[in-house]
Chains A and B, each alone.
Chain A
Amino acid sequence: TQLLEQSPQFLSIQEGENLTVYCNSSSVFSSLQWYRQEPGEGPVLLVTVVTGGEVKKLKRLTFQFGDARKDSSLHITAAQPGDTGLYLCAVRRPTSGTYKYIFGTGTRLKVLA
């Protein structure tokens, strides 16, 4: 059973369209991260949200952390081909000596020109 479920799994849209992807769990988290991964590369951090209800904006990307801190969404306005990639949510879980980072199942986005 995955701790973090992302939806949709795949998304193909035209340039200029808006989209929202979701990251859901039944557990409560102290913070949540979003990463983007381009083909042939490792994931890169986009944002960390730490407060229930928090909204962060990164240019055309808007991230929201649910009020109960169990879920998060990523909204992209006027998508561009450069937004194409795999979007992953992740949480940190404390463990002996450090934190474990647990990732969601991912949403693969393709933006067509």
Chain B
Amino acid sequence: DAGITQSPRHKVTETGTPVTLRCHQTENHRYMYWYRQDPGHGLRLIHYSYGVKDTDKGEVSDGYSVSRSKTEDFLLTLESATSSQTSVYFCAISGRGQYTGELFFGEGSRLTVL
């Protein structure tokens, strides 16, 4: 199993509060991704990183920011949480070698914004 841990696994917060989700990997992979999963939408890409301090936006980046100061950590921040950001968030890292391009996922972080 790929060494990916997400924290917290569950969080309930109120509208307008800041929230940070952490993704930690022990695989030393360069590429990391944050997705959100909602019924009927599959997985949607929020932000991704292709190296330390190198990040870019995905399909649904509004209201989210990310940071990557170390290879092993990729943080997702909701500056002011809204109810529409209630979702399950998944972190992923790319597989070994660009040929297979496999994504390995964490177990998810369930966020509820009241």
A-side interface residues toward B, CB under 8 Å? 2, 4, 6, 9, 31, 33, 35, 40-45, 48, 88, 90, 92, 95-106
- Once the chains bind, are A97 and B42 in contact (CB under 8 Å)? no
Which residue numbers of B lie inside 8 Å of A, CB to CB? 30-31, 33, 35, 40-45, 48, 50-51, 54, 56, 58-59, 90, 92, 94-95, 98, 100-108
- B102 and A48 within 8 A (CB): yes
Contact A42 B31 (CB under 8 A): no
Closest-CB distance, B104 to chain A (whole angstroms): 8
Asked if B105 and A44 make an inter-chain contact with CB atoms under 8 angstroms apart, the answer reads yes
**How many angstroms between the C-alpha atoms of A102 and B101 in the bound complex?**
13
Residues on A with C-beta less than 8 A from B59 are 102
B45 near A42 (CB under 8 angstroms)? no
Say yes or no: A48 contacts B42, CB within 8 Å.
no
Other-chain contact of B54, A31, A43, A92, A97 (Cβ < 8 Å)? A97
Q: Which residues of B contact A92 (CB under 8 A)?
A: 101
> Contact between B107 and A106 (Cβ–Cβ < 8 Å)?
no
